[in-house]
Structures are given as C-alpha cells and as structure tokens.
Structure 1
C-alpha cells in the first residue's frame, strides 16, 4: 500500500500481541520526551545501552530526559559494529545492568542501531530471567526492522544470530530526527530493509519506493512515511506469527544469502554492513527464483536496478575483498536458522510482492546458482 502522509503528531503503530502488546511511535523529536513516556511504564530506573558512536551524539539528551522524569538512569557503552554481538560483550553488558541495580520492574533501554538493540535486548531477556526493555533505534535499518518484533541475540562462530531469545519490547520510540546524523552508507543499508517489505507482499509499496527513494534517503517527510509503513508491515507479520513458526519467515527474504555473506566476510563492517548484504541477498533471491522458473526475469532485473539506483550493491563482485566461494557460502547457509531436518529453506518469489517460503531446496541447485553468480560477476571460486 502507499504510505499515509506524515501527521504533525507521532504515528502510533500498535503491535497487538496478546499479553505483550506495545506501541511503536514514529516521528521527529521523540527523544526529548522519552523520560515522560518511560516514566509512564512505572519503572524507577533505566540502564541505557549504547555504542561509542551514538552515545556522544544522543546519550546525554536521553539521560537528561530520563532523570528529568524522575528515573535513575545510567549509561553502558560498547564498541560499534557486529563484533559487539559476542559472548564477551553480552557478559559485560549483563554485569553492568546488574551493577546499576536494575530490577525486573525497571528498564533496559537500547539507544543505537541493530547491533545495540539485539545485544541489549538479549541481555534484558536473561538478566534476572527477564527485565523490561525499550527500543530507541537510531539507524534507519533498526527503525524499520530490528527494533520491532522481539528478536534478540548475538552471533556465533557458526553464524549470525544463532544465540538469542524472543523478548518483546515494552515500547519502541522511532525518532526520525536521529537519522539526520546517519552517514549515507548506513541510510542506504537501512533502505534495503524498507524495499524488502514491498518485495514480500506489497508491489504498490515497492512502486512507491521507486518513485520516492531519493526523498527517503534525503530525509524528507517521505522518510517518516517509509518508516511508519515498514513498521506496520512488520507488526502485522509479527502479530500473526510471533516466534517464526510460519509467515514470519517471509521477513527473511534475501537474508539466507545475506547472513552467509556476512559470515564469509567475518562480520567486518568495513567490507560489508548488514543492509548491503541484504541488498545483494534480495537481488540474488529474485535471480535464484528466476533460475528456478518461478519469477519473471524482468522482475528480477527491476529489483536489482532499483537497489543499484539507490547506491546499493547487488552482485557478489561488489563485496570488497571478495565473497568467498560457492562452497563457503553454502556451508554458511547450512547453519541458517531456517534449516530444518538438514534441508535448506529459502524465501523465494513468483514476482514483486509475491514472496513465499520454499522449504527443501536442493543444495545442488543452490551450488549451481552460486557458481553462475560468481562466474557472471567475475568473482573467483566455483
């Protein structure tokens, strides 16, 4: 669907989970009023988890807002990047939360991008067997995807997000003004997740993205519209399938390829950030669907052309330092969370807005497709 115009007041997107319902608020300037909104949750204290890039920009403002509303508030920081989604960082964050005397009725607040949200949320899920949790995402990717739905976790040597828990937030504050300081590379990476929602089941929204992507990346009111519409789309899926037993797997369109690419590049954000991997993964998922005779070739080309126009990579050759080999990527896919009974599950497409869950994909078909993808792009490996 086409996003609604941005209202003067924050847009409220309800996530109507029975017993765990919460709101996503989308709009500019929400950080300043965070203290009042969190105080309404009846907490006495908050441990704010952020990273060394975001904390200097927004940490003081959030702490001032919380303390001004009568909450005892302390800050915990971690280094930026996927390397912080580790056992060592998790232990340090958990100890810091306990050291700040956070009780089960208090709050852990994630102020940052997807890494901070995943890490802080997992810590909140396990400290005292569950502390309430608030997301204040500061990247486009986190606002439209990772802050919503309750997936938390860290990475393992075996793959991405393989250790974690479902722990729903009590509130999500998507302050779109915080995106004004976002580097263009990170904005583009987040935009890949926006496009994903159109590709899953909303061709009209994909068409809207084709028409308005420059304004979304440029910070116009279209950015707020894109965030709100993405949150609505994800919330609808999460309510239908909270724990990814069915339809929620559709949200992983492009991610089987993406997570494999992140693993073979050792989660090195200098080479590849998550949204860039997702962009390549989306293009590959549509190309693979075409190879299997499922999707018209013009749709796959349309997807790749739009992502490239927005400044995102779409080919394996665009991974700095190389994308490994077909066998390395296939090995990484074998650890994907959607693997069942040893069989690969992909999210494929019959066209734009017509994605579906495809279990039992033969490894030989994936290997042959990857060999073509490497050969066509000039990558080494076969």
Structure 2
C-alpha cells in the first residue's frame, strides 16, 4: 500500500499508522505527494512502475470542506474546495490511461447527491467525481464513486457536528461499517453509490419541509414511511394546561399578545437564546437564523403547547413571529372570524406582512402594491417623508420590508 499526502511521513499519526499496518503484515509506505501536483504524481507513478509490483487499485480520497453561503462564495473559495477533488481525480485518470486496474475508487459525498447547506462548492466538486466515474465506465474502465455520509473518527467536521447531524437524521458511521459498504459496492460493480446511515423518519420530513423531493420519495424506506398507517388521533403531549381555555376569557388583543409571547419564547428556545428579547416580532424567521430543522422543532413545540396539529411548513408559510401568532389565533379561535375583519391599520399591516412574497406575485398584487405606495406618495415627497428606495434595495427586501415600504408610503 502506498499512502500519499502533501506532508508525507510528517503527517500527524503517520508513524503510528505504519506501525499498525506492519503488525498486520502489510507492506506500506508513505510518500510526500500532492494529488493535484502533476509533476509529483507523475514521478511517483514512475517510481512505482520501476520499483514495485504492478499497480492494481487507486483510491482518491483527497478533499477539503468549508461552509460558505452560496451567495458569498468567491472564485477563490471554489478553487480551494474543488481543486483537490477535481485536479487530483483528473490527473489520476490521465496518468493511468491504458493501465488495467481492478478498482479506481473516488470518495464523493452525500452533498453531491441531495445537497448540504453552505457547501455548494463541495457539492459541485464531488458531483464532478460522480460524473468522472460515469465517463470512465462508459469507456470500459474501472470506476466507483462512493457518496459518503458522515464518518466517525476521520469525518470532516467539528466536535459538535455529530449531535447536529443526529438531530437531522444522519448517524455517523464507524469506519468498519463504511468499509463494509465499500466492499459491497466494489463486489456489486457499482459506478455511483451512496453509503450513509440515515434515519429516514427524521431526515425526510426535515429535508422536504419546504419542497418535495422526487429523488428521496421513491426510496423503499421513505415509501414505507408514507404507507405506514396514521397513528390514531389522541391528546397532544401533556402540557399541564388548556391554552384555549386559558386565553378565551381574555380580550382579543391580549390573546394575540399571549400567543406572540409564546411564539417568541419558543423561537428563542429553539435558537438557543436566553430570552424572547432576542426574537423581534416583525423580523423574518430566516433572518433570525431558522433552517428546516429549527423550523420543525418550533412547529413541534407550538403543536404541543396548543394541542393543534400544525403543518411542517408553518414557520415558512407565516414568516415572522407576529404573522405566526396571528395564524395561531385564527386556528385556535375560528369562531371569532378573521382577525383582519376590524380593518384597523395595525391588523392590516400584520396580515399583509404574513403573506409570502410568491403568493403576492402569483396573485398579481406585488406590482400593484408597490405602485400604490409610489402613487400615494405623490411626485414630490412631503417634508419628513422617507426617500424612495432605489431599485436594488427593493430587490433585497423581504415580504415584511416590501409591505412596510408600501404602507409607509401611503401614510404621507
């Protein structure tokens, strides 16, 4: 076995690894060679042809990862993350052209299969490995690309990542289990295969909270979940209180205030804030830091507290704490009509702010709403009126910001 890395024998743990392999009777050496260095890789392969037995298998496992939002990803970020994957694989494919191999294994990632937040560059680099494996197979060459789920011990993540992954339904695999998956893939002749330990009952609802996934929906384990008979309806998780009975004697505005306080308190709990003060009632949940996991966790807390079954997308359907509190009010007290019936300005603002931007656009109302704000403001702004926002700023606003802009314009 020939192991390569940029630091060679100076790589931390290399000496211990060599000793362990020697104790198992394995002849192993460590070479200083960057997988993306053409001259270094060519020299190493020449040495192996000259001094060693014929090369029979190659495993390309190089990779680096960093979490950067896609909109903030630079060309330098792309080069840093994609380079070790793409350049190393291309070099091995080129330099071993014509060499008959038993295996040509590429270490890909589940990020390339279904995506991973903040890892757009890493997903693209690994998707390239999958495509390279398909290309080699099409030319009759050995190739197996394995899209790995997270590993223990050698995984590319921080200390708290395993718990975060578990909460999302991804269990980290011990190396022995992962290697069993690799042996099976090679024996079966797979070209591209995913090896991951997934708790589908947890992962699938979170992954599809915002949109369905045809890729996952056809998996046998996911189909089995969908076919599972619904559990008989029963009482909500015990909370020691009857929220509706508690709130019904209160005036409507006090009920809404109590529901808003509950939403903000539970949102703070999910996000790890010490108090509800950190959760602005009119700030979007996405701006507050919510993702699919925390959105479902907040929905679960509110379902338990209200005794009312809420959809998994409720946080995204009603994108601010104030809007979600209004939705809860309508669900818990349907006999009192739409909270917007009064038509007071504050209620109208809340109701408009709760409407997702796409719904305003689909209904053909977004342009009219913005036009109403501009027209009402008149050609010359009155003293003290805010200046018109530039077009670029309008594009960056969320729903609440757009509605607020239109309504503030109508005040002048």
For the criterion TM > 0.5, the same-fold answer is: no
Question: Normalised by the size of structure 2, how large is the TM-score?
Answer: 0.24
Structure whose alpha-carbon radius of gyration is higher: 2
Question: Normalised by the size of structure 1, how large is the TM-score?
Answer: 0.25
Q: Which protein is richer in strand relative to its size? A: 1
Q: Which protein is richer in helix relative to its size? A: 2
The higher-RCO structure (CA 8 Å, 6+ apart) is 1
